[in-house]
Amino acid sequence: MKRIQILLILIQSALLFGCQKDATVISTRELLVEKDWYLEKKVIQFDNNTISHNYLGLPTYSFRLTLNDLYSDSDGLKGTFRLDDLTNELFLEIIPENRAAERYRITHVGHDYLVVTFLFNGATQTLYFSTRL
């Protein structure tokens, strides 16, 4: 009887500790592409003032990045994009057709959220996006 108990404990231990978790690392690029990103909130900071605009659940600006480095947005702009990892900071560069490139610093990214910042007319703007899933 004691051998059966020991054997059961060994089998349970092997099943419990023998399984390995899937440690797949997902790249930032994989998190960003082939999704529609909707602007949910915009925060503008300048001269110790903060202005916040919420668009949660409202029709709003959106964009899409594709696997083959193409960019399109709800304003009708089309172009390409590039991700740059510079000194531990990640940047998203949008290169629209017939327009100057725009560069955004990615501060947070996940499966269904994205936060970027950029400087415009001396004000720091933070844009919060979601996939609305």
The pLDDT value recorded for residue 42 is: 97
Residue 4 resides in a domain: no
| Contact by Cβ (8 Å): 93, 1 | no
Q: How many domains does the chain have?
A: 1
Identify the domain containing residue 73 by its residue range: 24-130
Q: Is residue 18, in this structure, part of any structural domain at all?
A: no
CATH number of the structural domain spanning residue 93: 2.40.128.540
Q: What is the mean pLDDT of each run of 10 residues along the chain (133 residues)?
A: 56 54 72 96 94 92 96 96 89 93 95 95 95 87
Residue 19 belongs to a domain: no
pLDDT value at position 98? 87
Q: Give the C-alpha separation, 4 to 2, whole Å.
A: 5
pLDDT of residue 108: 95
Distance of CA 7 to the CA centre of its chain: 48
The answer to the question of residue 6 being in a domain is no
118 with 103: CB under 8 angstroms? yes
Q: Which ranges constitute the DSSP H helices of the chain?
A: 2-18, 28-32
pLDDT value at residue 133: 77
- Please report whether residue 39 resides in a domain: yes
